[in-house]
Structure 1
Amino acid sequence: MIAVVKNTGGTNLNSVCNALARIGATFTVTGDADVIRTAEKVVLPGVGAAAHAMRRLNEANLVPVLRGLSQPVLGICLGMQLLFEQSEEGATPCLGIIPGDVRALKPSAPGIRVPHMGWNRLIDFDPDYPLCRSLQSHACVYFVHSFAATMGPWVKAIAIHGQSVPAIVQFKNFFGCQFHPEKSAKAGEVILRNFINMRDLP
């Protein structure tokens, strides 16, 4: 069973659930620590501000729970950013699982707008990497964000938006998608299905 954490707030929870249902995943939406701890996998969705999401997780006493998980965890959009040490958005301490920070995107060239919103191509990914298996080389996914994680060895795929944007990350059993796989048509379905069907950590 997949535990979808409901405590980060935002508007993508229903979209994530609908996407999981489309691929036949068994899941429950929960803020119960015991359910999250014992789930086969955990999905951490989120849209909005880091400070608000971290406040909700702290109020639900889920921060130590999430930090202590050993099963595969997938953070989506803001949920991915929360895996890092801190966010420049409101100088917010985050979960501190991935040893990097989240910083504001900056318009770095004519035509580069913030937020980074819309379809963009995933590049520099290994087609044999478990989350990317069966992805086409020109796969496009849907982004909506104004902040992005720093580059590091945890980056498994990037997108270009005036700068290199970490699009897929992994640190130990924690995975993240900066984009919205639940809104990314076939490519997003492939990524979600790969996560759900994952048996061993890469």
Structure 2
Amino acid sequence: GFKGGFIRPNPYTDKMVDAPIYEPFWAAAEDLDFAIGFHEGAGGGMPQVGIDRFEGRGARHIITHTMEMMLACLAVIWGGVCERHPKLRVAFLESGGGWIAPWLDRMDRHFDDQGFNDSGLKTRPSELFQRNCWISFEPVEGSLRVLADYIGGNKIMWATDYPHPDGFFPGAPDMVRKQLEGTSAATQQQVMAEGAKSFYGLN
């Protein structure tokens, strides 16, 4: 059967994915051991953050694919979805991966500061990420090696974006290996294969 599916990170009818209306969805995904990936897109008439500030397609693509994913990440972690569903697996896809380190640091900083911590969480955000979350990198990202050390290669997947014209094919695996030069064989195996296998429950 199916191992996973994807949803958009954007707010639907003005509700983020941590809203109560989504609880049956998250509960079902957890019960069915069904991985959920977030993937941004341009269609569907859904609201997209920041597009009112720029006119160019390139600028809007830079903004929406990354920032919508950051907001979805905030919703599932800070909004309590991961804490409420400890066996849930979620991934942040086709948005680059370098943003995840400062984003987790920022959530942890606010979690530790009781003046800002209105989350109701009992677990630090970075720990929830380690338990529930994965992130994909593009094969040309220079921060991949650093992030593999920071969040762990087993939390990383990579993408070709096939068959889109801006994708990385053929040759994406070699591009990833080049970014990982100097890392251990174990880290390379985690990034190249084990992260995706664990996210989709293929172990």
With normalisation by structure 1, the TM-score equals 0.30
More strand by share: 1
More helix by share: 2
With normalisation by structure 2, the TM-score equals 0.30
Larger C-alpha radius of gyration, 1 or 2? Answer: 2
